Structures are given as structure tokens and as C-alpha cells.
């Protein structure tokens, strides 16, 4: 899967440099879909994705950006309008038939990142 985590850094700087925004910034709905054919519970691509975006967000903060929040998308697998339950975005797997919830590897990793307030967990 290809992604560009520096985009969050570029966007934060753009709203400041080009538009003169000096207020607080909140990063919302940042996440990715499970890779096709991958183990739904060992979602290492999602961990790599989120880690990259958090690293660039931290860099923006270190350089003075007033980023006050980061909201991961999504806590739970959900029904996507055009894909139904076939595409999974959550860090918690939901069985659409039984509604059983089971944390993915990304859940455990993100929990530790939040608890320790650092990425090297």
C-alpha cells in the first residue's frame, strides 16, 4: 500500500503559511483500510501508516504548530456506503453477523502509544 504521511505536515504548514491560520489545529479522520487479503487481526500496514502520520504530526508540533488533537479513523469497523462491510477501517474488528468485537494489533499498538505518549512502543 502506498501512502504519503508527510501530507499531514504539509497541510499543517499550508494553513499557517498560505492562509495565516494561527489557531489550534485538530487532525481528524486519519486512518486507512485493511490491506486486501491481509490477516484482519495483524494489521501491520495500518500501524506503519498511523506511525508515519504521527511522526510527521510530531515534527510539525516540534516546529511550532499548534496541533492539539489527532483523531484516528476508525475505532470500529463500520459500514461504508459504497463497500458495505467489505472494507475495514477500524482498529477493532466487528463480525457483521454476530457483532462480536475483537481488537486488532493496531488497537494494542495505539493503546500503548497513547498510554506512554510516545511512538517507540
Distance CA 44, CA 40 (A): 10
Q: Which three cell numbers stand for residue 54?
A: 504521527
Q: Which three cell numbers stand for residue 101?
A: 468485537
**Residue 29 among the catalytic residues:** yes
Q: Are 13 and 60 in contact (CB under 8 A)?
A: yes
Query: What DSSP designation does 119 have?
Result: S
Which residues fall within 8 angstroms of residue 105, CB to CB, at 6 or more apart?
41, 42, 43, 44, 47
Catalytic residue among 29, 45, 63, 100: 29
Catalytically annotated residues:
29
Amino acid at each position: 500500500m502506498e501512502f504519503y504521511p508527510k501530507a499531514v505536515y504539509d497541510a499543517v504548514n499550508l494553513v499557517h503559511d498560505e492562509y495565516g491560520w494561527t489557531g489550534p489545529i485538530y487532525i481528524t479522520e486519519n486512518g486507512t483500510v485493511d490491506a486486501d487479503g491481509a490477516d484482519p487481526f495483524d494489521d501491520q500496514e495500518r500501524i506503519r501508516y498511523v506511525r508515519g502520520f504521527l511522526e510527521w504530526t510530531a515534527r510539525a508540533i516540534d516546529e511550532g504548530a499548534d496541533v492539539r488533537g489527532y483523531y484516528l479513523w476508525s475505532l470500529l469497523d463500520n459500514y461504508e456506503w459504497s463497500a458495505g462491510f467489505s472494507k475495514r477501517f477500524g482498529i477493532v474488528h466487528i463480525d457483521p453477523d454476530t457483532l462480536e468485537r475483537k481488537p486488532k494489533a493496531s488497537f494494542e499498538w495505539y493503546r500503548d502509544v497513547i498510554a506512554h505518549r510516545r511512538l517507540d512502543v
